[in-house]
Amino acid sequence: MSSAKRILLIIGGGIAAYKCLELIRRLKDRGYSVRAVMTKAAHHFVTPLSVGALTNERVLTDLFDLDEEREIGHIRLARDCDLIVVAPATADLMAKMAGGHAGDLATAVLLATDKPVLIAPAMNPAMWLNPATRRNVAHLKADGFRFVGPAIGEMAERGEAGPGRLAEVPQIIDAIESAFVGGAENSGALAGRHVVVTSGPTHEPIDPIRYLANKSSGKQGFELAAAARELGARVTLITGPVSLPEPEGVAIVRVKTAAEMLEAVRSALPADIAVFAAAVADWRVSAPQMEKIKKAEGQSAPTLTLTENADILKTIAQPGPQRPSLVIGFAAETQEVVAHAKKKLKSKHADWIIANDVSPSSGVMGGENNTVHVISSNGVESWPEMSKAKVARKIMERAATELDGKRTAAE
Ligand code: CTP
C-alpha cells in the first residue's frame, strides 16, 4: 500500500520488548507499514529474526549497519517515516534522548529526525519515580515528545506494583492514531493543545475483593475527552473503573484508586487544560487487608478506619511551573449547589468550577443529561438542561476561547 502511513519502531531493551511483536501485528492489520530498529539491549528480550519476520523488513541495530547498497543510513531512517514510536522506552534510552546522545543507531535516528516521536516508557516503578527520570521525562515533554503510559500495575518483579508497565497495545495504537489525527492537517479550535481529563469513580480496596466506591458512571468525563478530541486536542483520559466505550483517538489510562489517579495525572503533565470530572473517593481504608476478611460466629462486624485521600484537583491547581493554563473542576452537590461550588473554586485554586446537582431526583449520576452552573471569577452562568455530550462540547469550546485569549494577552 503506497499510501500506508510509515512507522519506525525503536525497540528498547526491557522485559516488555516482547509486546512489540503484538504491536507490530496489530499495526500491520491496520495497514501501517512498520520498520524496526532495535537497541543492543533489546536483543536480550526479543530476536531481530522474529521482529523482521513480522515487519517484512531487515531489522537494524548498529549505526554502521547499513544495507549492502549503503542506502539506509540513520538520516534516511529518521526521515523516511511518518512517526517514530519508541517502545519500550527504558530509563536509559530516555536519559540519552534527553541528553541528545547519538552513540548508536536508535539514538542517532532520534536526534536526526524531524518527525513526531511517541514514547511508550516501561521500567521498574522506582526507576520511573526517580527524580532523574522525572527530570528527563519533563525535558522530553517540553521538547515536544509525545508519551503514552506507563500503565500502573504489577511488574515482572514479583510483588512490585506501581507506575512503570508498558501501556497496553490498544492504548499505544490509540496514541499512534491520535498522533496522526493531531498532525498538521488538524485545524480544530484545540489543535496543538494537550487536554487531560479525569473521569469515573475510584475504587478504594477494603480487602482483595471488596472496595469503597460511588455511583459515578464516567459519562461526563468520557464526553469531555471526546469533545476535546473532536476539537483537535491531544487528549489523555484518566479513568477509574467504568464500562463505557472508549472514545476514538484518545489515550486512556485506567486506574483504580485515588492515589493511582493522582500519579497518572502527574505523569500526563504538562497539559494546557486539565478537567477534573472524576468522582474521587474522599477517603480510603487506612489498612486494606491482604486476605479476604472472614466473618466468624459471635464476632462483631469489622470497623473500617478511613484516611483522607489527596485532593487531586487542588494538588494540580497549585501555582507552579507544571500547572495547566486552565484548570477546571466539577462540584457534585446535593444542596446549595452554587454556594458550595463557589467555595470549591477558591479553596481548590480552580479557574472554573462546573457545578451540578447530583441528588438522586436530578438523575445526573448515570443519566444522559446534565444541568450545570459554570462558576468562575467572572460570576455564575447557569446553563439549561442538555445532554452530557452537549455540555462537554460547550465547555471545551469555551476553554479553547479562554486559552486563545490568554495567548493573545501574552503576545
Ligand atoms: N476532587 C479531586 N480529588 C479528590 C476529591 C475531589 O480531584 N480527592 C475533585 C473532583 O474531581 C471535582 C472537585 O474536586 O473536580 C470537587 O469534587 P467534589 O466531590 O464535589 O468535592 P469534594 O472536594 O470531595 O468535597 P465534598 O465531597 O465535601 O463536597
What's residue 178's pLDDT? 76
Q: Which long-range contacts (CB under 8 A, 24 or more apart) does 64-70 make?
A: 65/105
35 vs 54: CA distance, rounded Å: 10
| Secondary structure (DSSP) of 25-38 | HHHHHTT-EEEEEE
**Atom 24 in ligand 1: residue holding the nearest Cα:** 282
**Ligand 1 centroid, distance to 130 Cα (angstroms):** 29
User: Contact 342/328 with Cβ under 8 angstroms?
Assistant: no
Three-state SS at 340: helix
pLDDT at site 184: 38
- Average pLDDT value for the chain: 90
d(CA 87, CA 275): 28
The CA-atom distances, in angstroms, between 55 and each of 166, 180, 248, 395 are 21, 20, 26, 43
pLDDT of residue 185: 39
Mean pLDDT within 395-400: 96
Pairing verdict, β 326-333 and 273-276: parallel
pLDDT tens per residue across span 324-364: 999 999 999 989 999 999 999 999 999 999 999 888 888 88
CA of 90 to the centre of ligand 1 (A): 35
> Which residue among 313, 335, 357, 395 is best mutated to probe the pocket of ligand 1, counting the most ligand atoms within 8 A of its Cβ?
313
Query: What is the residue with the minimal CA distance to atom 28 of ligand 1?
Result: 282
pLDDT for 358 equals 87
Per-residue model confidence as pLDDT tens digits over 137-175: 988 988 888 888 898 877 766 677 788 999 999 889 988
Question: In this predicted structure, what is the pLDDT of residue 142?
Answer: 80
What are 259-292's pLDDT values in tens digits? Answer: 999 999 999 998 999 999 999 999 999 999 999 9
* Ligand 1 centroid – CA 211 distance (Å): 19
Between CA 285 and CA 336 the distance in angstroms is 29
On the question of pLDDT at 316 being above 50, the answer is yes
- Which of 62-71, 90-99, 226-235 has maximum average pLDDT? 90-99
pLDDT level of residue 8 (50, 70, 90 thresholds): very high
Strands 6-11 and 83-89: parallel
Q: Each residue of 32-59: pLDDT tens digit?
A: 999 999 999 999 999 999 999 999 999 9
Give percent above pLDDT 70 in the chain: 93
- Which residue out of 280, 326, 348 has the highest number of ligand 1 atoms within 8 Å of its CB and is therefore the one to mutate? 280
CB of 27 closer than 8 Å to CB of 81: no
Give the model's pLDDT for residue 330.
97
| Residue 180 banded pLDDT, cuts 50, 70, 90 | confident
176, pLDDT greater than 70: yes
Strand 194-199 versus strand 273-276 pairing type: parallel
Cα separation, 199 vs 218, in Å, equals 5
Please report the pLDDT score of residue 72 as a whole number.
Answer: 63
| Distance from the alpha carbon of residue 166 to the mean position of ligand 1, in angstroms | 30
* Alpha helix (H) residue ranges in 56-122: 74-79, 91-99, 105-112
Region of poorest pLDDT, from 148-162, 232-246, 303-317 = 148-162
Tell the residue nearest (CA) to atom 16 of ligand 1.
Answer: 331
The minimum-distance atom of ligand 1 relative to the CA of 310 is: 8
Residue 6 pLDDT: 95
The answer to whether the beta carbons of residues 21 and 45 sit under 8 Å apart is no
Report the pLDDT value the prediction gives residue 2, as an integer from 0 to 100. Answer: 41
Among protein residues, the one with the nearest Cα to ligand 1's atom 4 is: 311
Kindly report the protein residue whose alpha carbon is nearest to atom 8 of ligand 1: 311
Taken in order of first residue, the domains within the chain and their CATH numbers are 1-181 (3.40.50.1950), 188-287+305-411 (3.40.50.10300)
Q: What is the pLDDT of residue 3?
A: 59
- Would you call 56 a catalytic residue per the annotation? no
Determine the atom of ligand 1 nearest the C-alpha atom of 315. Answer: 7
- Give me the DSSP letters along 243-300: --PPPTT-EEEE--SHHHHHHHHHHH---SEEEE--B--SEEESS--SSPPPP-TTPP
- Dump the DSSP string for 109-166: HHHH--S-EEEEE---HHHHHSHHHHHHHHHHHHTT-EE---EEEE-SSTT-EEEEEP
Where does the pLDDT of residue 70 fall: very low under 50, low under 70, confident under 90, or very high at 90 and above? low
Identity (one letter) of the amino acid at 46? Answer: V
| Residue 205 grid coordinates | 480496596
pLDDT of residue 143: 82
Residue 199: predicted pLDDT: 98
Question: Which residues line ligand 1 at a C-beta cut-off of 6 Å?
Answer: 198, 258, 276, 278, 280, 282, 309, 311-313, 329-332, 344
* pLDDT the model gives residue 71: 55
Residue 347 identity (one-letter amino acid): S
First to last CA, the chain: 45
Instruction: Kindly give the distance from the C-alpha atom of residue 23 to the centroid of ligand 1, in angstroms, as a whole number.
Output: 37
User: What pairs with residue 254 in β-bridges?
Assistant: 239
User: What pLDDT, in 10s, does the model give residues 182-238?
Assistant: 553 346 899 889 999 999 999 999 999 999 999 999 999 999 999 999 898 989 999
How large a percentage of the chain has pLDDT more than 90? 72
Categorize the per-residue pLDDT at 17 as very low, low, confident or very high, splitting at 50, 70 and 90: very high
Give 208 Cα–ligand 1 centroid separation in angstroms.
26
Considering the candidates 124, 130, 214, 369, report the single residue annotated as catalytic. Answer: 214
Does residue 127 surpass a pLDDT of 90? yes
